[in-house]
Chains A and B, each alone.
Chain A
Amino acid sequence: MLELKRTLDAKGHGVLEMPSGTGKTISLLSLIVAYQKAYPLEVTKLIYCSRTVPEIEKVVEELRKLMEFYTKETGEKNNFLALALSSRKNLCIHPEVSSLRFGKEVDGKCHSLTASYIRAQHHSNPSQPVCRFYEEFDAVGRQVPIPSGIYNLDDLKDFGRKKGWCPYYLARYSILHANIVVYSYHYLLDPKIADLVSKELAKKSVVVFDEAHNIDNVCIDSMSVNITRRTLDRCQTNVDTLQNTIQRIKETDAAKLREEYRRLVEGLKEANVARETDIYLSNPVLPDEVLQEAIPGSIRTAEHFVGFLKRFLEYLKARLRIHHVVQESSPQFLKDIYEKVCIDRKPLRFCAERLRSLLRTLEIADIADFSPITLISHFATLVSTYSKGFTIIIEPFEDKTPTIANPVLHFSCMDPSIAIKPVFERFQSVVITSGTLSPLDIYPRILDFRPVTMASFTMTLARTCLCPLIVGRGNDQVAMSSKFETREDFAVIRNYGNLLLEMSAIVPDGIVAFFTSYVYMENIVASWYEQGILENIQRNKLIFIETPDAAETSMALEKYQEACENGRGAILLSVARGKVSEGIDFVHHFGRAVIMFGVPYVYTQSRILKARLEYLRDQFQIRENDFLTFDAMRHAAQCVGRAIRGKTDYGLMIFADKRYARADKRGKLPRWIQEHISDGSLNLTIDETVQLSKHFLRQMAQPFRRVRPAPFFTRFS
């Protein structure tokens, strides 16, 4: 709280590591809300970004409790407006549209009912279907602001149903004057969405990124583009459609195109003015310089632009027709494209903006169909805008299957700071927090910002409810490690199996085991099956396994919880960096033990990663190994940290790899885990582990009495 207050006072940014389950969310919320109440002019808005939808909803519920407490204690109703914002899929109440299963379909369908020209057509032709909720909202929804209160996603839907307004647009409109907004990272970090949603958020806001240990990857993902042969083929059809539409419109409604031309000549001045007056969050895809100029003449008319796109497309196709791997920087690419097809840098930079304008003019109904061409246009803009921080890798085939041609052009962002820069620049305080941010100093470096506070908190515990153990060898003294050289070793696999088997016999309820990668898990499961280890485990517990298919995994997860719930006990085999490790908590009996098989290093042979490591080394002076270890350890910590959520919770954390004992690995674990690793538990055999675990579990299973007050944060170093 102290650190947070300091951060807010200084109007700077902060990095805070707080152990999970100690009330991170509520601490942040209560202090910032109190601050907002005390200095309503200093901090006008809290933007709370979390990662997953359940996470978002949890935050709002906690906030609701806080507000109830305020009302109870002060006796007055406070006029805070807090709301959650999510995608259309989670907010739509249109009976037809909301029944669609995938987010993209919902977006597309929604667009086809609410686009401005569709609505214009509806005026002249009432049979054209429109969304009545949107119409209603558009007619009256904006006049009166939504009454103050706490609105979770379901509350928004209920409110929308009651009023007959579209909850999605209502929420999007309301975040502008809400005191607290809770939404997902993407609304701030993904330039495509941020531009639509978060552009006008007030500057005097506090932004909190919760569960931010992966924030750099989110940034990178939002700026990277992959182009395959299939994308290009679909682009081709897009371009053809565009051409035909232009032809048709030219015959019927030439005025429209002329109007567009006029607008383009006037340029993007409007946007420029807005940004200078500091109303808009800047969009990294739309660089500042672009705004000051008009769209170049060569792509101003619709036909010219389509011709331009065609040329660009042909060029990309030619580039994909290669037989060896190519890696080049943006300037190299630009030079090449100029030489080959005479495409200048300047028009490329306007590509995204120009395409958007064209699509609007042409009244394209289904935007989703045009995602390939939009993708290409974004690529064009990005590649021509940033000469640094990006790399282009063209791979003619996948590494595993050199015979099957599957050319991919990776345009990958290597600098996460590009995407997050506007956020740091615009908002007065940005707080990055998570249960596992160690080592702290690396985040400011890779995100390129200067925090005023950096702190790692440990927790005071009523009892030592976590028991991290490092298992280094099997009972046969063979070292256990997922090191590349030994990972396929029969003895290692068998020892891993024995460890799981022994644990399955002594740990009650649920065990979660994480593997370093999906392929590795598949192999191990197969060989365990052949050796009969799985059968023996099945005598103790049911086995559920994560698969690459999300739906299947969800089912397995639910069954896993069911099995833990009804006392059978179960084991969930899962993958670090997988969906389960990122988003699911294993509270109480859902995870009495977490076993981390091996150190979850990222696949180091990928060229993209290599390029990124190189970039980090050159730009930020971060050594490759440091970064890799950091990345592996944060994922390991993330995995084992899933088990502890709260004071009464307890869990074993078993690191099954001898390498964890090394200081450089151990030192990168979060403090709150590190301080419980005793020197005696650094290189245990399976038997010793079982003994220690038994002891621990027996102690923990005693009824929890309230001996000491609830834990609070203490400053660690």
Chain B
Amino acid sequence: MAALSEEVLLVVKRVRQRKQDGTLYLMTERIAWGPEGKDRFTVSHLYADIRCQKISPDGKSKIQLQLVLHTGESTTFHFANESTALKDRDAAKDLLQQLLPKFKKKANKQLEEKNKMLQEDPVLFQLYKDLVVSQVISAEEFWASRLKLSSVEHSLSNNSKQEVGISAAFLADIRPQTDGCNGLKYNLTSDIIESIFKTYPAVKQKYAENVPHNLTEKEFWTRFFQSHYFHRDRINTGQQDIFSECAKQDEKGLKSMVVQGVKNPMVDLLSLEDKTLDEGYGSLTVGPNSSKTVKENSNSAIIKRFNHHSAMVLAAGLRKVDAPSDQASETSSTDGNSRDSDFFQPPIKKVKLQEAIEYEDLQNGSGPKTIALNLKKSDRYSHGPVPLQSHHYSTSQDIINSVNCIQEEISCYKPCLTRVMPSSAASSAITALSPGGLLMQAGTQQAVSQLVPTDVQSELKHLYTAAGELLRHFWSCFPVNTPFLEEKVVKMRSNLERFQSTKLRPFQEKIQREYLSTNVRLLLLVNL
């Protein structure tokens, strides 16, 4: 069996699929089903391929689990073990619920990307419909060249797009509801959970440590909400609380942030004061405030928590953006933190100072910014392109001579009126040549666009782009220097032929039936 090395997470016996009894296996990477008595799987789906799972409603007699794949196919499992069917199904469902999200991201990413591309680009979408849906070429082939092509521009557009930050109030969004019997119900969505993880890495770590082994997910979150950690006015967290460590870690983080100090000297309150009064001088003494009441303590704890929370939310939002430029910022931040930062600090300070004393509106020349024209050869700009073949340079004498020559010719020019065409003939020739005239009747664009209804036109356009796409595929194989390419050429050729037969022929015939005059162009195009 191929799956020997895989770890089997769950085995459910007596599961029917297509009216056949069998066993359902949930492995680390895929779900599989094999009919009874045989040791191979007839159904096997990677988790990454599964879009979602559906279950039959509770009341129904058949207890089923349906897996919908990204391709749109679905597989239904019927849990047939009378006594434990429901339990079996739920076990499978729960496990899948945990497993699917992990794989989802991986699979979805590409899919989403493709989806987005299609949505953003209607032409591409049409192309996709023409080529893939009508099965001229396979989806993979279609994307193979597309994705590569678009990855460059895509990454560009990706960068400019912003990460969605975290709502500062995400904890407030979890409205506790009373469930009627002296308890509270919290509704958690995966978004909120992600926000919590992003903002509080310490909780995430705890989650990773505890969840599959020590606690179930539900228990974990129950404890989370019970813990003082969640309640910001916590003062004394119990030792048995798994989140007390988080609280400590947070405190440490806050402290380290404080110790790190600020990089912008304009807001550093510590160095604001030039000369602080010596101890004992001054009219107000801020003595060691040991005598704070518990309430005051908890109040200041709230304030601290808010500062920390906001800072974390902010940091979580920025983390992603920073990632690519981490290298640079890391080095600079370490520089900034060390105290012998004299070589690093001044630039920031200078910049900030300049910012502080400069007023944009007082600067000269604050008119609308224009882009300077960058000319490599200004003479070419002013003279326009000159055909290169006129390379024999004429001396000034030549020019003068020729000018004289022309002048002489002009001076002795006499219109020979007798030999001119009669005006009626001339005008008829002109009408014949202008659009709609005798000579131009056959193939002017205008005429076509007027003659052909728009739906045919758009169809023609689609066909044209589709043909262009196919030809692009085709020509991209040249020069044929590998067997792979050779194979592809052959395939593309057959694709082209298929395209011709499935799409163009019907269209051609249709057109021929209706408009005889346009077929010349089309045939031209088709037989290209």
**Chain A residues engaging chain B, CB cutoff 8 angstroms:** 52-54, 56-58, 61-62, 65, 86-87, 89-90, 93, 95, 98-99, 101, 103-104, 154, 157, 183-184, 186-187, 190, 192-193, 217, 220-222, 224-228, 231, 371-372, 375, 398, 400-401, 404, 406, 408, 410, 412-413, 519, 522-523, 525-526, 529, 532, 534-536, 538-539, 541-545, 547-559, 561-563, 566, 568, 570, 579-580, 583-585, 587, 608, 646-648, 704, 706, 710
From residue B407, how far is it (CB to closest CB) to chain A in Å? 57
CA distance A541 to B167 in the complex (A): 9
CA distance A86 to B310 in the complex (A): 35
- The reply to whether B306 and A545 form a contact with Cβ atoms under 8 Å apart is yes
Residue ID in chain B nearest A414 by CB atoms: B283
- The reply to whether A561 and B283 form a contact with Cβ atoms under 8 Å apart is no
- The reply to whether B310 and A550 form a contact with Cβ atoms under 8 Å apart is no
Please indicate which of the listed interface residues A154, A538, A544, A579 has the most CB atoms of chain B within 10 Å of its own CB: A538
Contacts of A183 in B (CB 8 A): 274
Q: Does residue B58 face the partner (Cβ distance < 8 Å to A)? A: no
Chain B positions 297-329 with a Cβ under 8 Å from a chain A Cβ: 298-300, 302-304, 306-307, 310-311, 313-314, 317-318
Q: Does residue B513 face the partner (Cβ distance < 8 Å to A)? A: no
Please indicate which of the listed interface residues A184, A554, A570 has the most CB atoms of chain B within 10 Å of its own CB: A554
**A231 is contacted by which of B258, B277, B280 (Cβ under 8 Å)?**
B280
CA distance A37 to B258 in the complex (A): 47
Residue ID in chain B nearest A84 by CB atoms: B274
Contacts of A545 in B (CB 8 A): 303, 306-307
**Chain B residues engaging chain A, CB cutoff 8 angstroms:** 165, 167-169, 171-172, 232-233, 254, 257-283, 285-287, 291, 295-296, 298-300, 302-304, 306-307, 310-311, 313-314, 317-318, 339-340, 342, 346, 349-350, 353-354, 356-357, 359-362, 366
* Sample of 5 more A-B contacts, CB < 8 Å, known A535-B169, A539-B167: A103-B276, A551-B259, A555-B257, A568-B168, A587-B356
Count CB-based A-B contacts (< 8 Å): 228
Contacts of B269 in A (CB 8 A): 550-551, 553-554, 557, 579-580, 583-584
Contacts of A412 in B (CB 8 A): 283
- The reply to whether A228 and B270 form a contact with Cβ atoms under 8 Å apart is no
Contacts of B287 in A (CB 8 A): 228, 398, 406, 408
From residue A525, how far is it (CB to closest CB) to chain B in Å? 6
**A547 is contacted by which of B167, B270, B282, B307 (Cβ under 8 Å)?**
B307
- The reply to whether B282 and A90 form a contact with Cβ atoms under 8 Å apart is no
Contacts of A579 in B (CB 8 A): 269, 272
Known pairs A523-B299, A535-B169, A647-B361; A225 contacts B314 (CB<8 A): no
Residue ID in chain B nearest A183 by CB atoms: B274
- The reply to whether B278 and A371 form a contact with Cβ atoms under 8 Å apart is yes
- The reply to whether A648 and B360 form a contact with Cβ atoms under 8 Å apart is yes
Contacts of A536 in B (CB 8 A): 169, 172
- The reply to whether B272 and A526 form a contact with Cβ atoms under 8 Å apart is no
Known pairs A221-B282, A526-B299, A554-B261; A710 contacts B362 (CB<8 A): yes
- The reply to whether B280 and A52 form a contact with Cβ atoms under 8 Å apart is no
Contacts of A154 in B (CB 8 A): 346, 349-350
Contacts of A519 in B (CB 8 A): 296
Residue ID in chain A nearest B172 by CB atoms: A535
- The reply to whether B349 and A543 form a contact with Cβ atoms under 8 Å apart is no
Contacts of B167 in A (CB 8 A): 538-539
From residue B231, how far is it (CB to closest CB) to chain A in Å? 10
Known pairs A525-B303, A584-B267; A542 contacts B262 (CB<8 A): no
From residue B497, how far is it (CB to closest CB) to chain A in Å? 55
Known pairs A522-B303, A554-B261; A58 contacts B356 (CB<8 A): yes
- The reply to whether A646 and B302 form a contact with Cβ atoms under 8 Å apart is no
Residue ID in chain A nearest B362 by CB atoms: A710
Residue ID in chain B nearest A578 by CB atoms: B269
- The reply to whether A53 and B271 form a contact with Cβ atoms under 8 Å apart is yes
Residue ID in chain B nearest A220 by CB atoms: B283
- The reply to whether B270 and A551 form a contact with Cβ atoms under 8 Å apart is yes
Contacts of B302 in A (CB 8 A): 525-526, 529
Residue ID in chain B nearest A577 by CB atoms: B284
Residue ID in chain B nearest A529 by CB atoms: B302
Residue ID in chain A nearest B258 by CB atoms: A551
**A539 is contacted by which of B169, B260, B264, B366 (Cβ under 8 Å)?**
B169
Contacts of B281 in A (CB 8 A): 221-222, 224-226, 375
Contacts of A548 in B (CB 8 A): 286
CA distance A555 to B318 in the complex (A): 16
Contacts of A190 in B (CB 8 A): 275, 277
- The reply to whether A542 and B354 form a contact with Cβ atoms under 8 Å apart is no
**B262 is contacted by which of A375, A554, A646 (Cβ under 8 Å)?**
A554
7 A-B residue pairs with CB within 8 Å: A190-B275, A231-B280, A547-B300, A547-B307, A552-B258, A558-B264, A706-B366
- The reply to whether A583 and B361 form a contact with Cβ atoms under 8 Å apart is no
- The reply to whether B168 and A542 form a contact with Cβ atoms under 8 Å apart is yes
CA distance A27 to B281 in the complex (A): 35
From residue A608, how far is it (CB to closest CB) to chain B in Å? 6
**A52 is contacted by which of B274, B310, B313, B339 (Cβ under 8 Å)?**
B274
**B318 is contacted by which of A398, A556, A566, A587 (Cβ under 8 Å)?**
A566
Contacts of B296 in A (CB 8 A): 519, 522
CA distance A566 to B314 in the complex (A): 9
Contacts of A187 in B (CB 8 A): 275
- The reply to whether A563 and B314 form a contact with Cβ atoms under 8 Å apart is yes
Residue ID in chain B nearest A54 by CB atoms: B266
- The reply to whether B291 and A561 form a contact with Cβ atoms under 8 Å apart is no
CA distance A556 to B264 in the complex (A): 12
CA distance A608 to B306 in the complex (A): 35
- The reply to whether A224 and B282 form a contact with Cβ atoms under 8 Å apart is yes
Contacts of B361 in A (CB 8 A): 646-648, 704, 706, 710
Contacts of A157 in B (CB 8 A): 342
Contacts of B340 in A (CB 8 A): 95, 98-99
Contacts of B165 in A (CB 8 A): 568
Residue ID in chain A nearest B232 by CB atoms: A529
Residue ID in chain A nearest B313 by CB atoms: A542
- The reply to whether A583 and B310 form a contact with Cβ atoms under 8 Å apart is no
Contacts of B304 in A (CB 8 A): 547, 552
CA distance A704 to B361 in the complex (A): 9
7 smallest A-B Cβ distances: which pairs? Answer: A535-B172, A184-B274, A538-B169, A538-B168, A542-B310, A539-B169, A522-B299
Contacts of A543 in B (CB 8 A): 168, 306, 310
CA distance A550 to B276 in the complex (A): 13
From residue A643, how far is it (CB to closest CB) to chain B in Å? 15
Contacts of B360 in A (CB 8 A): 648
CA distance A704 to B359 in the complex (A): 13
Contacts of B171 in A (CB 8 A): 535
From residue A343, how far is it (CB to closest CB) to chain B in Å? 21
**A217 is contacted by which of B169, B280, B283, B311 (Cβ under 8 Å)?**
B283
CA distance A522 to B294 in the complex (A): 13
Contacts of A89 in B (CB 8 A): 271
- The reply to whether A608 and B172 form a contact with Cβ atoms under 8 Å apart is no
Residue ID in chain B nearest A53 by CB atoms: B274
Residue ID in chain A nearest B273 by CB atoms: A52
Residue ID in chain A nearest B275 by CB atoms: A186
Residue ID in chain B nearest A52 by CB atoms: B272
- The reply to whether B278 and A375 form a contact with Cβ atoms under 8 Å apart is yes
- The reply to whether B317 and A62 form a contact with Cβ atoms under 8 Å apart is no
**B275 is contacted by which of A184, A371, A398, A542 (Cβ under 8 Å)?**
A184
**A568 is contacted by which of B275, B314, B342 (Cβ under 8 Å)?**
B314
Contacts of B349 in A (CB 8 A): 57, 154
Residue ID in chain B nearest A528 by CB atoms: B302
Known pairs A562-B314, A566-B317; A400 contacts B263 (CB<8 A): no
Residue ID in chain B nearest A522 by CB atoms: B299
From residue B289, how far is it (CB to closest CB) to chain A in Å? 8
Residue ID in chain B nearest A192 by CB atoms: B278
Contacts of B299 in A (CB 8 A): 522-523, 525-526
CA distance A710 to B363 in the complex (A): 11
**B314 is contacted by which of A375, A539, A559 (Cβ under 8 Å)?**
A559
Residue ID in chain B nearest A26 by CB atoms: B357
From residue A68, how far is it (CB to closest CB) to chain B in Å? 12
